[in-house]
Chain A
Amino acid sequence: EVQLVESGGGLVQPGGSLRLSCAASEFTFDNYWMTWVRQAPGKGLEWVANIKQDGSEKYYVDSVKGRFTISRDNAKNSLYLQMNSLRAEDTAVYFCARTYSSSWYFFDYWGQGTLVTVSS
């Protein structure tokens, strides 16, 4: 069974940094795009960023451009999200999702999420 396990969340002060990880297993990681989606408390889902299989293409929602960096290590079957200059509005549960991004376009497996809280 496909597994995605996020880690790295926690409490950070405004302006601080955090690095999220997503460990993937039971599928060929480098065959898939991967995506980060977040959900602020009591709010809806928001697409944050995604990355192509070989890391050659990366896309971001406007609100995180220049502050967040998505990356992956295919040798470690891992996806990352480096978050800098964090703001209160970045407080959310961050999910990683396996992504189809050709022929079909959708997210088929999701992790359970990791909570990021930005507060002083």
Chain B
Amino acid sequence: QTVVTQEPSFSVSPGGTVTLTCGLSSGSVSSNYYPSWYQQTPGQAPRTLIYSTNTRSSGVPDRFSGSILGNKAALTITGAQADDESDYYCVLYMGSGLWVFGGGTKLTVL
């Protein structure tokens, strides 16, 4: 069974930079998995941030960026703001119509 891994939690100072990662329990994440990233605050629907590894969704500020770092997909937030405090999820397209979400990272800005 494929497991997509994310850090359960992360902390960043206001104005700081943080990189969240999205890996596979076995194997490497590449752009062929079309990694995408979503931000969610409690009680709200997810918001699309990044798709196809590094393309920002419409209206997403450029302090959010996506990449492949080593064998993982990565979401980097540069100049973190208080309202970036959210849960962040990656999802990988596994092919044949199947998708797998990571467990999510709870980001604290303090």
Q: Which residues of A contact B (CB under 8 A)?
A: 35, 37, 44-47, 50, 57-59, 61, 95, 100-101, 104-113
Measured CB to CB, the nearest residue on chain A to B96 is A59
The answer to whether A100 and B98 have CB atoms under 8 Å apart is: no
- Please tell me if the beta carbons of A45 and B48 are within 8 angstroms of each other in the complex: no
CB-CB under 8 A for A44 and B93, given A104-B34, A104-B52: no
**Chain A residues, Cβ within 8 Å of B52:** 104-106
Q: A47-B91, A106-B34, A109-B48 are in contact. List 13 more A-B contacts (CB 8 A).
A: A37-B46, A44-B87, A45-B40, A45-B89, A100-B51, A105-B36, A106-B36, A107-B38, A107-B91, A110-B46, A110-B47, A110-B48, A112-B44
The answer to whether the Cβ of B102 comes within 8 Å of any Cβ in the partner chain is: yes
| A–B pairs, 30, beta carbons within 8 Å | A35-B99, A37-B46, A37-B101, A44-B89, A44-B101, A44-B102, A45-B91, A45-B101, A46-B101, A47-B100, A47-B101, A57-B97, A59-B96, A95-B46, A101-B93, A101-B97, A104-B51, A104-B52, A105-B36, A105-B52, A106-B34, A106-B36, A106-B48, A106-B52, A107-B91, A108-B57, A110-B46, A111-B45, A112-B45, A113-B45
With beta carbons under 8 angstroms apart, the residue of B34, B93, B96, B104 that contacts A45 is B104
- List chain B residues, Cβ under 8 A from A107: 36, 38, 46, 48, 91
Name the residue of chain A whose CB is nearest to the CB of B52. A104
Which residues in chain B, 10-69, are within 8 Å of chain A measured between CB atoms? 34, 36, 38, 40, 44-48, 51-52, 55, 57
Cα distance, A113 to B55, chains bound together (Å) = 26
* Interface residues, chain B, with chain A CB atoms under 8 Å away: 34, 36, 38, 40, 44-48, 51-52, 55, 57, 87, 89, 91, 93, 96-104
Query: Could you say which residues of chain A place their CB within 8 Å of the CB of B40?
Result: 45
Given contacts A104-B51, A104-B55, A106-B51, contact A59 B46 (CB under 8 A): no
**Across the interface, do B98 and A45 meet the contact criterion of CB distance under 8 Å?**
no
